[in-house]
Amino acid sequence: MKAALSIVTTGVVAACLFAASNAAAFTASAPYAAPATRGDVVRVAMEPQGQVKPQFQRRMVRLATNEEPGTVIVDTNNKYLYLVEGNNRARRYGIGVGRDGFGWSGVVKVGRKAEWPGWTPPPEMRVREAKKGHKLPAYQEGGEDNPLGARAMYLYRNGNDTAFRIHGTNQPWSIGLNMSSGCIRMMNKDVIDLYDRVPVGTKVIVVGPGNKQGEVSYQDRGVDVLRTLFGG
């Protein structure tokens, strides 16, 4: 399977977060969210991630690709993120991606990482949501009510922040859907797992709208049942 990749950054809303129907939860009257503690990390990460279709649960898979181990491949069309492990193996995670008009593609890198990141909605998003009657905060502390979830990996290109992130979500039901403003969202338990496995500098290939670019070859050959059940 081959897909062309190119990053589209012009005119992109920088926060990559809520669908409009959920933005009302972040009004000026919303309670202050204190920074999360380690106990919060464990509790939220281990909470049941209900309403997620079985195919989007984390799996070990057989992935044929010529990409180097440690590379992240984001298939926005099929709503999967792969962490390449070599020897035709990968970890596959279910994801939520950009809604219509907010999809993109490209080759980027993890520029920085954050645990329980805070959220600063960009002016464009605040203006857009205000027109819909949703008043967003100027800033929200990290915590389990924060739309960025438990972890964030900030995606850079040529040393510059693209404004896109791979991050957790407090809306696990959105996994498998097109709902964000371009960011890649994961269940909290999955984003924590990925965060612990990818360092700053990791290559991230996003397959999606645009297809202008270099090529990536990969083929998902299905679940590696023994590894999924027993690890390794």
Reduce the DSSP state of residue 117 to 3 states and report it: coil
Cβ atoms within 10 Å of 106's Cβ, excluding its own: 23
167 an active-site residue?
yes
* Contact of 216 with 134, CB cutoff 8 Å: no
Instruction: Considering the candidates 109, 113, 126, 167, report the single residue annotated as catalytic.
Output: 167
134 an active-site residue?
no
Helices 38-46 + 188-195 axis angle, to 10:
120
| Tokens encoding 2 | 């081959």
* Contact of 79 with 85, CB cutoff 8 Å: no
* CA-angle at 148, arms to 146 and 152, nearest 5°: 140
Contact partners, residue 193, CB within 8 Å, separation at least 6: 58, 91, 93
Contact partners, residue 154, CB within 8 Å, separation at least 6: 110, 111, 112, 113, 114, 161, 165
Q: Closest by alpha carbon to 2, among 213, 224, 202, 157?
A: 213
How distant, in Å, are the alpha carbons of 92, 129, 155 from that of 203?
16, 33, 9
| Tokens encoding 161 | 């922040």
Instruction: Considering the candidates 17, 23, 183, 198, report the single residue annotated as catalytic.
Output: 183
Q: Which residues are catalytic?
A: 167, 183
